[in-house]
Amino acid sequence: MLALPMLLVCGVLDVDSVAGPFFEVRDAVSAAASGDIIRVAPGNYSYFGIFGKEITIVNSSASGEVRVSGTVRIQGIGPGEQVLLDGIDIEAAPGSGDPALLLAHCDGSVRLQDGEFHGMDVAGVRLLDCSDVVLTNCTALSDSGSAVHATSSHLTLGGGAYFGASFELQSFYAGRAGAAGLYLEGGTTFVSGSTVVGGSGGEGLMSAFGCWPEPGPGGNGVTAIDTDVEILGAMVLGGEGGVGFNCLNAEAGVPVALLGGATETAHPGAAVRLDIGPAIQQEGGTLVAIADGDAGSPLLLVVGLRAGRSNLPAGFVGELFIGGPLGSQRRVFLGAAPASLPLTLPELSPFGIAEFEFQAVQLRATAAVTGEVRGLRVLDRGW
């Protein structure tokens, strides 16, 4: 059984576009106290913002979609605080000039799980001055820009897919360069087990002036400026160059373009994957942790109470995202990869809420490799 963590003094709010009691996510966020959990029923909702408040927002259904139209903003999350979005799909408004998801000036932790973020005019996900952002099994894409544009931020991608905008066979965008899958300016980025693809360039056209516009080059998988990039078990590809027709075809993008003082470290081996089921589960139930990595390698499940980046000694690949100093977390041996292990969730006091953070770690002969991160909220049956 998982050890009982400190119970959270917070509440649970429900959003349902048909039945209520809250009909929009933004209204529940406004009513919520810091630390509250918001369950959202499948449906269509308007944009919302989280400003300086610790909130968990989850899709309450295992099958239906929660779709948000317009930009979701998460800003000013303080040190030691966390925002978790699970199963929330966001599409930016066309012509707004805003991303689907904007994360800005967050000193705390932001966790995004199993969501899709679709930008129209700019990036799908925009990060500015954020110290701890993790996307697990998410998809980000854009019709005009990069999947993710990060400035002065610490970003980790675990699984998922990230596509820069493509402009092939679109006469309005003839000659336009494909967008990078990831556009990074400063900070650090760890890409583990993800697919990252630059967009295809627009085609060239013939005119009375000859070949004009010329075909556009493909976007890079990753464009990094003064950024430290680490890659493990990921597929990173540049986009195809635009077709010239009667002109020469444009050049394809490269997998990783390093500019300024950017660095790249490519680690061998497979990424470490983790699945624990729904982000909200009931007390006394059974959680099944499923993890994978290099075949036959020993796998650990690190269990903690809070999210937060931890400094690791030499020999580790990646970062530990379970709060507290190294060694203070509980570690459960899962077995050799691929592995699964059932864990019994604790019983809680009436209307209690418990918070867990999980991360898979693979043990190699020469190093320990950190893997995907998952957040879990356990609720008393009274909720």
Tens-digit pLDDT profile for residues 205-218: 766 566 777 889 99
**What does the pLDDT read at residue 306?**
67
Closest CA to 194 of 203, 182, 178, 202: 182
Reference 382, options 346, 352, 361; nearest CA is 352
* pLDDT at residue 87, as a whole number: 98
Q: Would you state the pLDDT for residue 245?
A: 75
| pLDDT at position 175 | 81
User: pLDDT exceeding 90 applies to what percent of the chain?
Assistant: 75
Query: What integer pLDDT is reported at residue 313 of this predicted model?
Result: 65
| 209 domain residue, yes or no | no
Whether residue 227 is contained in a domain is answered as: no
* Residue 301 confidence (pLDDT) above 80: yes
**Is residue 319 domain-resident?**
yes
> Looking at residue 204, what is its pLDDT?
80
For residue 308, the domain's CATH number is 2.20.130.20
* Domains held by the chain: number: 1
Domain that holds residue 339: 273-379
Distances 174 to 109, 116, 168, 225, 238 between C-alpha atoms, Å = 41, 28, 8, 27, 19
Question: Residues of the chain with pLDDT > 70: what percent?
Answer: 91
For the chain, the average pLDDT equals 91
- Which phi and psi angles does 229 have, rounded to 5°? -115, 130
pLDDT digits (tens, 9 = 90+) for 93-115: 999 999 999 999 999 999 999 99
What average pLDDT score do residues 339-362 get?
92
Query: For residue 104, what are its two tokens?
Result: 């800005």
Report yes or no on whether pTM surpasses 0.95: no
The C-alpha atoms of residue 276 and residue 59 are separated, in whole angstroms, by: 15
What is the structure's pLDDT at 304? Answer: 82
More confident position, 31 or 321? 31
Which pLDDT belongs to residue 206? 67
- Give the angle subtended at the CA of 292 by the CAs of 291 and 294, to the nearest 5°: 150
Looking at per-residue confidence, does 290 or 212 come out higher? 290
Read off the tokens for 76: 């000013």
Q: Give a yes or no: residue 88 inside a domain.
A: no
**Cα–Cα separations (whole angstroms), residue 233 to 135, 159, 167, 224, 371:** 16, 9, 28, 19, 11
The answer to which of 76-90, 160-174, 226-240, 300-314 has the lowest mean pLDDT is 300-314
Q: What is the mean pLDDT of residues 164-191?
A: 89
Does residue 304 lie within any of the structural domains?
A: yes
Question: Does residue 169 carry a pLDDT above 80?
Answer: no
DSSP letter for 143, please: S
The answer, yes or no, to whether residue 268 has pLDDT greater than 80, is: yes
Which has the closest alpha carbon to 103: 67, 66, 137, 140? 140
Mean pLDDT, residues 136-157 taken together: 98
* pLDDT computed for residue 68 by the predictor: 99
Q: Would residue 148 count as lying in a domain?
A: no
For the segment 3-62, what is each residue's pLDDT rounded down to a tens digit? 655 455 579 999 999 998 999 999 999 999 999 999 999 999 999 999 999 999 999 998
Q: Find the range with the poorest average confidence among 5-9, 255-259, 306-310, 339-343.
A: 5-9
Answer yes or no: is 364 within a domain: yes
Q: Specify the pLDDT at position 3.
A: 61
